[in-house]
Chains A and B, each alone.
Chain A
Amino acid sequence: METRRCPMCGQPNPPEVETCVYCQARLKPLWEEEETSPEGLDFFSSSPAGGVADDQEIPEWLRSLRTGGEKAEEEPEESPPDFEAEEFELPEWMLEGGEEEKHETSEEAPPVVPPFVESVEDEETVSEEIWEESQPPESLPMPGSLEEGMEEEEFPKWLESLPGQEWEEWQETGEAEAKVEEELYTGAVPPFISVDESLLEEVGEEWLNETAGLSTEGQPEETKAVEEAGEELPAWLSEIQREEKKPETPLPPTPSVEKKVETAGPLYGLRDILPAEPLVAQQKAPVNVIAQLMVSEKQQAQADLFLQLIQQEGMPKPISPSKGVKPQVLWRVLLFLVLFAAAAGGLLFNPFPSPPQELNVGVFDTMQAISQLSPRAATLVIVDYEAGDFAEMQATAYGLMDQLMVKGAYLVFVSTTSTGALQADRLVREVSRLSGHKYMELTDWVNLGYIPGGAAGIPIFALSPRSVLPFSIDGQPAWSAAEIASVQKVGDFSLVVLLSENSNRARMWIEQLQRQVDANKLILGVSAQAEPVMRAYYEATPRQLQGLVSGLNGGAIFETQAGRPGIALQYWNAYSLTVTSGVILILMGSFINILIALVRPSSRPERGKRA
């Protein structure tokens, strides 16, 4: 993806933005630059304003320099410029050496700094360009090329101190000549680079003034001397003087550049801000560096929708105020009244005295396991149900507990629920009272209370129940009875009865006791809702349970088969009436609501959303 990198902070930005999204710096310039050449950094070939200067505005000497430089670049380095082929004018002091010798040895000329080089500030960065541009054109003489025709005393003093004056020694040997030629024409470090700059500035200016006959003492004299020496100046220098004499005309204002004021970013308020370099500002950042999510518009729309849904979840939904009593409220009240009347009528009037007639295998196996118990056999009863399910579980377990009491089993109660101890206490007392048994605490039963730890507490209790729960819930020693004196682990009990309404809790007990208790010693009394899960253990091969009594239906069958009516049969009519009433109400309500939905189709979508 193409991005525009901010010149201030370096962060990638989308190409269409004008300011940086990170630092607000301007990415697009206040004004558009004119199209520049690929060699945009060539200061010598462009005007100060950035455009290409008109050829007419360029002085003749500069035009000649450029043409010479271009030719020098085009020509092979081995071919030095032919100064003899063109005519050029020389200063007077140069011509004094003899006209006939001025064209002889231009290739060995010591370097002289041209005047225009002084305008270049950074000589180090543009040294090569300076060297290329400073090569004398064919029309200009090389001052150093005239030394052979001149007497030594006729040279300026400053010229004698230049390091290039050792040419005479080099000339004596062929190696020196080759070295000079190579350095001069192959673009190596030119000799004049090693010239002392301070000397160059001071002496060069003085030399130029002396050559032109100028005096640096005062302006009037200088002007006068220039006028006097005007005829002797070369053409290119005269051109410069004429240009300087022209009255200065105000430059046309740069269109809208000076009026532009930065209005964004850290450069806010500054005028005439130069635009960033195009190559810096518009670069392609590496793909792996860009920390932007590459998603399509469709994905972005879905993400926005998902974000909107999340935000709406945290917003409270207005609740429309109810207007009067709605028919649904009356329907709810009617449901409650009908169900309550059915339960109360069945419990009070006992309209259908017929007990359940079916045979249940699980109940039969349970009765057989209890019947095989010896008198006063140690029996562990696990009471693991909540108080809300006490009515159903009491009806389910009543017949089972009654049979255990008939056999005179010694009951040891335990639970993994915090209220299990009280549930067990109530259960044994209710069954004992209703069935006419006189079971006494510690004599006929003991309540060990609560086993903490859940699935972690069951195996430790199964391995050493005496050490885990040594006392009853009343703080009495729990294992002092003779019936349980031989019990060291849960497997030593003659029978283990699990009463639970929760399938997960019942499953936890079955799986933890599997290695400690034989399957033929384990029977279950569970609620109707836990029956489907427990039936899988009961009908497994081999069986993991000996018997299964489930729900009020199972309890009623147990009591019927045992011939000892109890709580289950007492609730049987009420249960039958309530279930029948519930089925009728569901059918009626469904029919009425379907009719309402058909009559008022406009309310369907709202109900559908609620569902």
Chain B
Amino acid sequence: MRMTLRAPVSTAIAVLSGVIVLVGYFVEIPILTSLRMVFLRWAFILSAVALVMGVLNMVFTHWRQMRQGQGNAFYHLAFFGGLVVTVVVAGWFGISHPFSRWIYDAVLLPVEASLMVVLAVTLTYALTRLFPIQRSGFGLVFLAVVLLALLSSAPILGKQFALLFGHDSLLNYLSRVAGVAGVRGILLGVALGSIATGLRILMGSDRPYGG
């Protein structure tokens, strides 16, 4: 039977680190607090390195695809051009320099905002076709709730109806009672799931780091 030291060593490191951080969170012991800070700082640095590695991986991926003739070469060139220009401008002039802000205001912001506009139009179009396609009770309820939320979020042609708009409106009631109740249930489920996942990692039964 093949035995490797990777799995037990990595599992021991993960479990020990998790226990130290968890105990240091609940118990005020100086040495545990110091160790907890050290581990969190390591995670902090490794995350920053991972971000750089992600950028490098994207560069290598585009470079390889461009050499192999995969995809549209224009997109690869656009990526390399944007990366070089942004790195040079932000690195040379600084992030808060007007040149850097211009890149953000003139390129990044309009592009992402236009995607939101497309999303708004697409959702409106999808809602117009929802009920003919989904002829069921849930489809009708979904469409009714969407219309009610839209009408309650803004005055209709400048008119604010008490039933739809305001503190005592129907939307406010639905948001406070039904919405908060549902969200609390979701949050409880998320909390329980997080606890279960943490315990599995601390016990070594779940090893997302491999091994």
Chain B residues contacting A463 (CB-CB under 8 Å) are 37, 40
CB of A245 closer than 8 Å to a CB of B = no
Interface of B: prevailing SS? helix
Residues of B within 8 Å of A447, CB to CB, are: 96
The listed residue (A390, A572, A582) touching B150 by CB distance below 8 A is A582
Tell which of A351, A421, A607 touches B95, judged by Cβ atoms closer than 8 Å. A421
> Do A473 and B167 contact each other (CB < 8 Å), given the known contacts A354-B155, A452-B44, A590-B143?
no
**Contact pattern, B 105-120, Cβ under 8 Å of A = 1, otherwise 0:** 1001101110110001
Chain B neighbourhood of A533, CB < 8 A = 183, 186-187
**Minimum Cβ distance to chain B for residue A391 (Å):** 6
Name the interface residues of A559-611: CB closer than 8 Å to any CB of B. Answer: 572-573, 575-577, 579-580, 582-583, 585-590, 592-594, 596-597, 607-608, 610-611
* Cross-chain contact B96 with A425 (CB below 8 angstroms): yes
Enumerate chain A residues within 8 angstroms of B150, measured Cβ to Cβ.
579, 582-583
Given A354-B160, A463-B37, A532-B183, 20 further pairs, Cβ under 8 A: A336-B121, A352-B155, A356-B155, A357-B160, A358-B165, A387-B112, A390-B112, A460-B40, A474-B94, A507-B187, A533-B186, A535-B176, A551-B153, A572-B154, A575-B154, A579-B151, A579-B154, A586-B146, A593-B132, A607-B132
Q: Is B175 positioned at the interface, with any CB of A under 8 Å from its CB? A: yes
CB distance from A574 to the nearest CB of B (A): 10
Beta-carbon contact of A611 and B134 below 8 Å: yes
Q: Tell me, in angstroms, the Cα distance from A572 to B165 when the chains sit together.
A: 14
Inter-chain contact B109/A454, CB cutoff 8 Å: no
Complex Cα gap A349–B50 (Å): 49
Looking at chain B, what size class is its interface with the partner chain?
Answer: 35 or more
A532 & B179 in contact (Cβ 8 Å cutoff): yes
Q: Provided the pairs A331-B125, A463-B37 are in contact, do residues A583 and B147 lie with their beta carbons within 8 angstroms?
A: yes
Question: CA–CA, A579 to B146, complex, Å?
Answer: 11
Kindly list chain B residues whose C-beta atoms are within 8 Å of the C-beta of A387.
104, 108-109, 111-113
In the assembled complex, which residues on chain B have CB atoms less than 8 Å from the CB atom of A425? 95-96, 101
Residues of B within 8 A of A457 (CB): 40, 43-44, 47
Q: Is the CB of A577 within 8 A of B105?
A: no
List residues of chain A with CB within 8 A of the CB of B132: 590, 593-594, 596-597, 607
CB of B30, distance to nearest CB on chain A (Å): 13
- Some 29 contacts from A to B, beta carbons below 8 A apart, are A331-B125, A351-B158, A352-B155, A357-B166, A358-B167, A386-B112, A388-B113, A389-B116, A425-B95, A452-B51, A453-B46, A457-B44, A457-B47, A474-B94, A474-B96, A535-B183, A539-B176, A575-B154, A576-B155, A580-B157, A586-B146, A586-B147, A589-B125, A590-B131, A593-B128, A593-B132, A594-B131, A594-B132, A608-B133
Residues of chain B lying within 8 A (CB to CB) of residue A360: 167
Interface string of B123-151 (1 = CB under 8 A from A): 01101111111100000000100110011
Interface residues on A, range: 35 or more
Chain A residues with CB under 8 Å of B120's CB are 339, 582
- Cα separation A97 to B166 with both chains bound (whole Å): 142
Which 5 pairs between the two chains have the least Cβ-Cβ distance?
Answer: A589-B128, A352-B158, A388-B112, A453-B47, A593-B132
A611 to B37 alpha-carbon distance, docked (Å): 51
CB distance from B191 to the nearest CB of A (A): 9
Q: Flag whether B184 is at the interface (Cβ < 8 A).
A: yes
Given contacts A332-B125, A425-B96, A577-B157, contact A453 B131 (CB under 8 A): no
A475 within 8 A of B: yes
In the bound assembly, the distance between CA atoms of A608 and B153 in angstroms comes to: 32
| Chain A residue at smallest Cβ distance from B194 | A511
> Once the chains are docked, how many angstroms separate the CA of A457 from the CA of B101?
26
B44, A593: Cβ atoms closer than 8 Å: no
Asked if A460 contacts B187 (CB within 8 A), the reply is no
**Contacts A387-B108, A460-B41; is A473 near B94 (CB within 8 Å)?**
yes
Residue in A390, A419, A611 whose CB lies within 8 Å of B133: A611
For the complex, give the distance between the alpha carbons of A30 and B101 in Å.
Answer: 89
Interface membership of A531, Cβ < 8 A: yes
Q: Mark A329-354, 1 if CB is under 8 A from B, else 0.
A: 00110011001000000000001101
Query: Which partner residue on chain B sits nearest A334 by CB separation?
Result: B125
Question: Could you say which of B131, B154, B175, B183 has the most chain A C-beta atoms within 10 Å of its C-beta?
Answer: B154
The answer to whether A593 touches B131 (Cβ under 8 A) is: yes
